């Protein structure tokens, strides 16, 4: 049956009181979300001051929580205005399940990413430091960091790209250098830091060995 303009108007007239009645509840939910975001921001700022973290260190976690709050507030507001939430929650659950399956499938990549986050938070070294992994026979100056690799440059100018999770499995020697920037800042920089390569190792001459060699001749 075709709907007339009067039918449409009558439908709108029926919905208006429900809409007006839901407005205060929706406003309270939105206000609660805004206050919760403010609390999250101040809590992370306090955490940064107490743990001596930089602003760049807390931005990813803070933004993730804020977006999560926004999504939850949006879904609740839809429910307040009478939208069916069963399908929405089912869709969100499906997306989260797919994300979880994807995490399991790319566990190795997740391992590197988690290691990167821990490196940024704990800062066992900085850009410009000289580090050495004796078990891997690798040493050089740290010039770059991304979510998978830490790049070292040796005295010959060669680049070594070390998987970030390797630093939690091997012994690492560190020598502080001229700090160019911290790891969090470099993580957001698409280009390697401008750091001079380390000097060539000084060859130690064993005088006793030379004397023995000369006497043998």
Domain range annotation of the chain:
5-105, 124-187
Helix (H) or strand (E) holding 133: strand 130-133
Query: Which range among 20-29, 42-51, 86-95, 181-190 shows the weakest confidence by mean pLDDT?
Result: 86-95
User: What is the number of other CB atoms lying within 10 angstroms of the CB of residue 40?
Assistant: 18
The domain defined by 124-187 folds into: SH3 type barrels. (2.30.30)
**Integer CA distances (angstroms), 210 to 37, 183, 207, 213, in order:** 71, 45, 5, 5
Which tokens go with 129? Answer: 């430091």
| 42-61 pLDDT tens trace | 887 776 776 556 666 677 77
What angle in degrees, to the nearest 10, is found between the helix axes of 107-122 and 86-105?
Answer: 90
Tell whether the torsion through CA atoms of 129, 136, 197 and 186 is positive or negative: negative
**Entry pTM:** 0.46
Cα–Cα distance between 143 and 141 in angstroms, integer?
6
């Amino acid at each position: 049956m075709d709907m007339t303009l009067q039918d449409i108007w009558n439908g709108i007239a029926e919905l208006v009181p429900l809409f007006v009645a839901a407005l205060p509840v929706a406003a309270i939910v939105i206000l609660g979300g805004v206050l919760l975001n403010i609390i999250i921001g101040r809590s992370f700022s306090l955490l940064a001051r107490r743990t001596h973290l930089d602003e760049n260190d807390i931005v990813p976690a803070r933004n993730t929580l804020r977006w999560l709050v926004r999504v939850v507030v949006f879904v609740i507001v839809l429910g307040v205005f009478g939208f069916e939430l069963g399908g929405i929650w089912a869709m969100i659950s499906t997306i989260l399940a797919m994300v979880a399956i994807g995490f399991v499938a790319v566990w190795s990549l997740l391992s590197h990413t988690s290691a990167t986050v821990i490196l940024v938070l704990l800062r066992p070294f900085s850009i410009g430091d000289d580090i050495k992994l004796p078990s891997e026979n690798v040493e050089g100056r740290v010039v770059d960091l991304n979510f998978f690799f830490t790049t070292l440059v040796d005295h010959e100018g060669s680049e070594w790209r070390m998987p970030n999770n390797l630093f939690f499995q091997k012994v690492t020697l560190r020598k502080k250098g001229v700090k160019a920037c911290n790891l969090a800042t470099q993580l957001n920089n698409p280009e390697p830091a401008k750091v001079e390569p380390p000097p060539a190792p000084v060859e130690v001459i064993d005088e006793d060995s030379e004397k023995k060699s000369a006497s043998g001749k």
